[in-house]
Structure 1
Amino acid sequence: MSVAIADTIRSEWTKFRTIPSNIPTILTAVALMVGLGAATANGAAEGYLAASETGRAVFDPTYISMYGGFLFAQITVGALGVLVVTHEYATGLIRTSVTVVPRRGRLLAAKVATFGLIALLMGLVAGFGAYLLGQRVIGAAGAPTASLGQPGVLRAVVGMGLIWALVGLVGVAVGSLLRATMSATTVVVAINFIIPVITPRLLPDAVGDWVQTYWPISAGLQITTTVQLPDRMLPWAGFGVMAAFTAALLLAAFAMFRSRDT
């Protein structure tokens, strides 16, 4: 990494941590995931005890301990990714930033690297926290638990950190494309929550199943599973879909950022 890039990343980290709400917000996302994950795990464990053999066969204690909390935590992560860019437009700081770092690609790359790393690290904390607490809750209810030594479990928990990073970078990309906090946040919530979670219930079954299988975040979350369902993508293939979608948004953001006046 060149000195110039390192200095720009350091500057972006300073910007991030000096905005008073940023650190509490990301910590709130971690707490949401761990707390809501535990509540979801408890309900799922009770459901396991009443389930048929078929239902018990697809019980995934690793995924269950993380997914319920992630649904809401990721909204915060995506919104924070948006603010990494739109805050500078709202305050006019973007003009100073492009004056100090005239190579716009470098400036946006530093934002991507900085927030991507923050989201990854916090996602790992949230993933391991939700997994550990969730297994205790599930075990206390009398349902089977998962250990990190079992096939796919460590990959699933680490994969949650990777998903956090991609969700955050989708926010950065959309924020850069739209430059307005409200509209960009709305789009990110639609991409990562409304379309994959709510919309399938309103669509014909075939279309809803397609969304739940191939929509970027739906596919990406397969990396956090340890039980392979026949109608779902393989873990790394699903993650690849979400990574490609995120990369496409970032490429569009880079192209647009370079062509604008500010």
Structure 2
Amino acid sequence: MTTTATSGRSGPPNPGARAAYRSELLKVRSLRSAVIMLVVAVALAAAFSLFESHQQSVVGLSYAAGTDGVGNPSQPIYAAQVNPTGTLLAGYVLGAALFAAFGAIAGALEYSSGLIRISLVSLPRRTRFFLCKAAAVATTAVAAAAVCTLASFLIGESYFGGQAGDSIGLTSPGVPLHLVGAVVCLAGWAMIGFAFGMLLRSTALGVTVSFVLYIAGPAVAEYVDPDGANGVTPTQAGQALWIYHNPMNPDIVPFGHGLAVFLAYVVALLAAAFARVRYTDA
């Protein structure tokens, strides 16, 4: 009498975290609409930043003497001396919203197309699925934001030449911190959009809600509390990561305040999206 050995494994294979992450990264790169949106976001953010840098360098001395608290109080200075990253990365006002659209598309497209069921069959552990998907979107956004930030700053800096002396450069006070903050801002908005995409499971709704939050959030906050509205929305908090807080920018909160508020929004929305994926059906 012979017996047939049977495997103790049942159900679909469950790939490890590294394999799952690579799979999700490949998915993000293969989503044509998401890739196009990311390319558009980088292109427009860089283009507007360079245009503003060029305009500031042509206009010349932009700030009145004695209002900035630096240098000779009788000597007017360039906008880029007072606020280097805010001037050279001015296009990030638009770029942040477009990065959010990229995240919303990357998060919702599988739901919109119905492919989410196949994804959950191949990776049934929803915690791993969500974390790997979020990590793939974040990695892509950080890489694109870092390239855009460094290129925009260096090219924009070249427009000023010797006009602004030695006060504009990668080693200028506050510049490294705010360049990192600019990357965090763009990547953070991508994750906010991703969270809305996963929550609403619709690319159109995810993009729309992200835009509404970005554009209408500050207006609503100011209407509710005109005196304490600064820095309470992700839009305002995110701008504090790449725009200097000084007397010339009184509406910009300090970097630490902006970082704490901005990350709180990102974490809270990602937690809500995770709960939606973890405890509801696809």
For normalisation by structure 1, the TM-score amounts to 0.86
More helix per residue: 1
Match of 2:61 in 1: 49
Match of 2:123 in 1: 101
Q: 1:218 aligns with which of 230, 236, 252?
A: 236
Contact 2:84 2:175 in 1 (8 A): no
1:78 maps onto 2:116 in alignment = no
How far apart are residue 20 of structure 1 and its match? Answer: 2.8
Contact 1:41 1:137 in 2 (8 A): yes
Bigger drift between 239-248 and 144-153 goes to: 144-153
Identity value in percent:
28
Q: Distance in 2 between matches of 1:245 and 1:10?
A: 27
Post-superposition Cα deviations, 1:135-167, rounded to whole Å, max 9, x if no partner, equal 122447x45651111221111112211111111
Match of 1:10 in 2: 22
Give 4+ residue runs of structure 1 displaced > 6 Å after superposition: none
Q: 1:112 aligns with which of 134, 149, 172?
A: 134
1:194 maps onto 2:216 in alignment = yes
Contact 2:230 2:253 in 1 (8 A): no
Match of 1:257 in 2: 277
How far apart are residue 257 of structure 1 and its match? Answer: 1.3
RMSD: 2.6
How many residues end up aligned between the 2 structures?
255
Bigger drift between 17-26 and 126-135 goes to: 17-26
For normalisation by structure 2, the TM-score amounts to 0.81
Contact 1:174 1:188 in 2 (8 A): yes
SS of 2:253 mapped into structure 1: coil
Structure 2 unmatched runs, 5+ = 1-13, 70-78
Q: Distance in 2 between matches of 1:20 and 1:134?
A: 30
Match of 2:256 in 1: 236
Q: Distance in 2 between matches of 1:80 and 1:175?
A: 10
Q: 2:32 aligns with which of 17, 20, 23?
A: 20
Q: 1:126 aligns with which of 135, 142, 148?
A: 148
Q: 1:246 aligns with which of 248, 256, 266?
A: 266
Q: Distance in 2 between matches of 1:62 and 1:6?
A: 36
Q: 2:87 aligns with which of 48, 56, 64?
A: 64
Q: Select the structure of larger CA radius of gyration.
A: 2
How far apart are residue 45 of structure 1 and its match? Answer: 4.4
Letter in 2 for 1:179: R
Match of 2:191 in 1: 169
Alignment of 1:180-191 (within 5 A): 180-191=202-213
Contact 2:33 2:105 in 1 (8 A): no
Contact 2:35 2:102 in 1 (8 A): no
Post-superposition Cα deviations, 1:56-84, rounded to whole Å, max 9, x if no partner, equal 55731222111x21122222211111111
Alignment of 1:145-160 (within 5 A): 146-160=168-182
